[in-house]
Chains A and B, each alone.
Chain A
Amino acid sequence: QVHLVQSGTAIKKPGASLKVSCTASGYTFIDNFLYWVRQAPGQGLEWMGWINPYSGGTSYAQKFQDRVTMTSDTSLNTAYLEVTGLRSDDTAVYYCARDSNPAHLRSSGGPDYWGQGTLVTVSS
């Protein structure tokens, strides 16, 4: 059974950096792209970007280009999201999610399995 387990709740001050982890099990980690999606309180879902754990290749939504880095450690089956220069409007639940298609197809199938979410609060 596929599981994505994320790191716990974080409270950060404005200007600080954040690193969220997403540890995968139940499938071969390098076989599927991973997405990061966030959801501000009471708001909808917002795509942040993706990482290909096999190659380390990434792509970020334009909004986050300057402040986001996605990485992975294949020895730990873990992906990471780092956000720098945190602001109050970065307060959100951050999710990782797996793309349903094998990466070698080079075609996205949309996310099937999701992590439980990591609540990040940015406040002075």
Chain B
Amino acid sequence: DIQMTQSPSPLSASVGDRVTITCRASHDIGNDLGWYQQRPGEAPKRLIYAVSTLQSGVPSRFSGSGSGTDFTLTISSLQPEDFATYYCLHHNTFRLTFGGGTKVDVK
């Protein structure tokens, strides 16, 4: 089974900071990777799919990149509403493997 390892966790940052979260897969996963944001008490929300495609309605300060086994979610300028937990997700033949999550909190 493929394992997804996220870092760092947690991540302390301030409003306006550029934030980078990394996800590493145990094997090459092509572009079957998405990023999700989860605020406390809410369901996850998809931000990015297919490594780098922004979900409709998601602000352009979010971006994704990577290939093979190493992937990155970047928030170019952290906003107050971005303090949340972020998960990478690998999907293959409808099996889902989540990263452990990165909580972005206030420095």
Enumerate chain A interface residues (CB-CB to B < 8 A): 33, 35, 37, 44-47, 50, 59, 61, 95, 97, 99-100, 108-112, 114-117
Contact = CB atoms under 8 A, between A and B. Distances in A.
Contacts of A44: 87, 98-101
Contacts of B92: 108
Interface residues of B, number: 24
A35 B96 CA distance: 9
B96 A111 contact: yes
Given A45-B44, A45-B98, A47-B98, A110 B32 contact: yes
Q: Is the interface of B mostly helix, strand, loop or mixed?
A: strand
Given A45-B87, A108-B32, A110-B32, A37 B96 contact: yes
A116 B44 CA distance: 9
Contacts of B34: 110
A47 B32 contact: no
A40 to B, nearest CB: 12
Given A100-B49, A110-B49, A112-B55, A50 B44 contact: no
Nearest to A107: B93
Q: Which has the most chain A C-beta neighbours within 10 Å: B32, B46, B99?
A: B46
Interface string B29-55: 000101010100001111001100001
Lowest 5 CB-CB distances: which A-B pairs, in order? A47-B96, A114-B43, A110-B91, A108-B94, A45-B98
B40 to A, nearest CB: 10
A59 B32 CA distance: 19
A109 B91 contact: yes
A45 B91 CA distance: 13
A34 to B, nearest CB: 10
A59 B96 CA distance: 11
Contacts of B44: 45, 95, 97, 111, 114
